[in-house]
Structure 1
Amino acid sequence: MTACRYLFLSKTEVRAVVIGKHHSGKTSVINTILETRTEAEGDEDVKREGIIDGRRVSLVETPGWWKTFNLSDLSNLSKQQLVRMISLISPGPHVVLIVIQADSAFIDTDGRFLEDYVELLGPNVWTHTLVIFTRGDLMKPEDIEQNIQKDGSALKRLIEKCENKYQVFNNSNHHDRTQVKELFKKIEGIVQKNNGKHFDIDLKKVKEVNEQWEEIQTRAYSRKSRVQEKRSKVQEKACVHRLEEIRVVLLGWVLCGKSSAGNIILNRDEFAIGGKTGECTRRFGDVDGRKITVLDTPGWWKYFTSELNPDFIRSAILGSVSEFEKPPHAILLVIPADVAFLEEQKRITEQNISILGDDVWRHTIVLFTWGDRFKNISIEQHIESEGEALQWLIEKCRNRYHLFDNTDKNNRDQVTELLQKIDEMAAENSLFHLNT
């Protein structure tokens, strides 16, 4: 097919992949282009289509990420989802739109991560990329240009990787079609510069990922079935009683979501969030007619062995049990659901938890936080895709795990089910006693 023919197609059809971190404005960009309205990122319709100015436009929104330092921090599931989603616009996108907030800092770690993430699609992707700056109405055009041209800046390097192709969007003004027309014109230029070719999807890689995904789904279903079967047997044979009083300890690394989880359990903002917990903090509440005590603890550093953590971290972990007049019913080991859990995290987590003695694992439930970041993915699929380290941890805790959606604080069912799992665990075990 000639370049002219491909250019004609780019005037009648546009296929694009939209990439960006959480709250970067990906959904708003799609709304602006398609003149539609979807309220939140991560909606079920990851592929959206429309007819704009005589063009058939297909846009695929990929999963976002929170601030991370390198690609190894990202869960396997996130990487697999990117590859699977790009296959939704076969034979390939004309353009990969990288969405960045114009008024947000973009530092070296952001730039390195984004480059590595985009190259998951293939090393030749950059000739098909274009940066869209959202929230352009909050900054003067000359200020945006100044940020781009700043020598040695991460943003300048990214724009240069994209061959100086970018567009500023004012997403608050959906009626301004000029910015969309300018975008389509630049996409036509990208198609023409690539000799009329769209970005070729690595079909072999897509096939491998899809086959892996089928295996993951099978194993996830099997794990969920085993857990449900075990819970049924416990409920039937272990004389599970509804505990009128429950005492729990929250453990985990820094910024894993412990304090947020504590607030969800108690159904009010008792623990400060957004920073590091500096000391053990105990709070009380009445939940579903039960007296609940939650102890939040300082987190350990995710990449530091227990010996390298400050002494007060070890003291806090040891003291977390003695804080109670009676021993706690459960240790809730808090882990974000959207990050990698590698062999390094397995080793560090085991070191810190084992401070409480070998018997602690019988009384531990893994509490995954930020479950809202994968709307249509089960926690079992995450466990099976992440690999041996996380699976080891789940088995170590006797397949006891639970998932919280931190954004849906009105969802009390997730708390009720967690308390039921603690009831079941207590029926299997005697109360935990410190053994160090």
Structure 2
Amino acid sequence: MRAPCQGRHHALTQPCSITHCLTHRVGRGHPRHDRPGRPGRPGRMLTAVFRGHEQFVALAVVLSCAAGVVTFAAARRRQGRPLAWGLWGACTAATLALTLWSTGDGGEAASCTVNLDVFEPFRQTQGLLNFGMLVPFGLLGVLATGRPVLVAGLGLLLPTAIETVQALAPIGRACDTSDLVSNGLGALLGTAVGTVLARFGRGVPLSPGVTRKAFLGGGAAAAVMAVLLFSSTEFTVVSRTVNAVPATAEQQAAIDGRLRAAFGGAYRADDHSVTLGEDGTGTVTAVFDTGSAELSWPDQAEFTASMPPADVAPGAGFAVPGTTRRPATGPDAVRIAEAYAGRYAPGWLKNAKVQVARSGPEGGLGWRVRWRRWEGEVLLPGGLDVLVDSAGRISELTERTAVDAARPAAG
């Protein structure tokens, strides 16, 4: 599983929208609260990924339990160790559900990212979660079958099959060798632990005939996947997919100050990272309980903060003091935005024109209120954007204070 955005730009230098990351939580696999510079908080990441998909989680649990029951019943009639078999079946079903559910964003050409930095997954929360996801598969597989070599092979075949499907099927997921590395090594670790534990258990190993057939079937499946991948997939080789590092004390102080000024100290960041290009410019990122903020560096000209909107996580946005009514129209949203600006960014209320428009598909994200300054027909650089969600809370803020050449207004 991969996160749609990591830092301000991912490996292929596609721009990353904060709102997009929070409302389309699984594209390349996982939420933007994963800061690659150092491991983040797994609980926060999982919450961001599955928030709004509670029905899928419930369905996945039901299917996994059903697979476990069926496997248990079959093993009880034909094999020993029915409990281990049942747990292995449930674990396998859960892994497939987590990695192959559709995000609804399919239709892109088959592609796969080859990451030359094989250790990168283990410097990220996302990679560590992927590593841990297949540890139970290897452990339970050995306890069930008593065949460590077979389970090790299956532990490498399963993530390969998952990445193949993610590359070729229009399910809105993406193939990445980093996932294959972390999943595969996790399965091998589980196999090793299971091999040690199996020495203290009882039971008859899987018969040589069945084991042989499993090896042949696995080999055939691997050959088919190789043909499909190399004939239908475009591979992109990158030296790394993320280049964020922990932020310096100066960078932390800068973004914390902007975050405090923007929301009156309502949020306190507990994770900071910075992504820099070869020219030394980039983005400082801070993550707090309900969202994240970004600050351009070193000019500090653009500050952005984002929380999930009301339709994704009710109550996660910033409640403007003194405002209680839900906006029903654009003017309602403007009044809330003006109340925010008057308290936290009063400079933008002077000599600026305000614009308001619905935001998101069918206006579902709320109203975006913008302040811009003009000199005649010339639009001056900079501006303030506030996204007021359907509950009347601020779910996104962008403030640009760059002093560059003014540009003519469009149209």
Q: TM-score, normalised by structure 2?
A: 0.27
TM-score (norm 1): 0.26
